[in-house]
Amino acid sequence: MINLPVLVLNQSFEPLNICRVRRAIVLIYQNKAEMVENGMGVIRTVGGDFPVPTVIRLSSIVRRPPRTVRRLTRLEIFKRDHYTCQYCGKETSHLTLDHVMPRYRHGAHTWENIVSACVPCNRRKAGRTPQEANMKLKHEPVKPRVSGLFYIPAYYSNIRKEWQKYLPSAS
């Protein structure tokens, strides 16, 4: 239960991050945050009972610089590719990253050279280019546009209904 996700809001109720229940309880206990939503019951300890938060709000405002560049991470690649294999089109949660031009052949580690691929397709392609492996990309990889919206990973979308009113897409 202490590893469940908790939405962290800025003092202005803007979504900032997702943390675990354990971290959220520590922030509340240290008066660095307050609980906004309690939807998961209580944790019983020797020191007392702690309500398990689903949404917390920080006591002080956190100033973040505007994002001008989207970071190149696994999650961002999967999001760009809509969690689908770019070779066979299969939508799955078990994806890997594949370099279109392999790194050992001086392929760059950039947005334009990395795609998501299912494990069988990645094994089939191995260290070759898609043309050499007789595989065709569904979509050419491109660098995504920067958006200032907070992003919730797909695996949280069905878990937390309490979060919807705090997310920009809900309005």
Flag whether 94 is in a domain: yes
With bands split at pLDDT 50, 70 and 90, how would you rate the model's confidence at 48? confident
Residues 56 and 78 in one domain: no
Flag whether 160 is in a domain: no
In the DSSP assignment, the letter for residue 121 is H
Domain span at 38: 1-60
Report yes or no: 96 and 119 within 8 Å, Cβ to Cβ: yes
- pTM of the complete model: 0.60
Residues 46 and 91 in one domain: no
The number of domains in the chain is 2
pLDDT at 97: 96
Q: At residue 3, does pLDDT exceed 90?
A: no
Residues 49 and 93 in one domain: no
Residues 98 and 47 in one domain: no
Flag whether 16 is in a domain: yes
Query: 5-27 pLDDT, tens per residue?
Result: 899 999 998 888 889 999 999 99
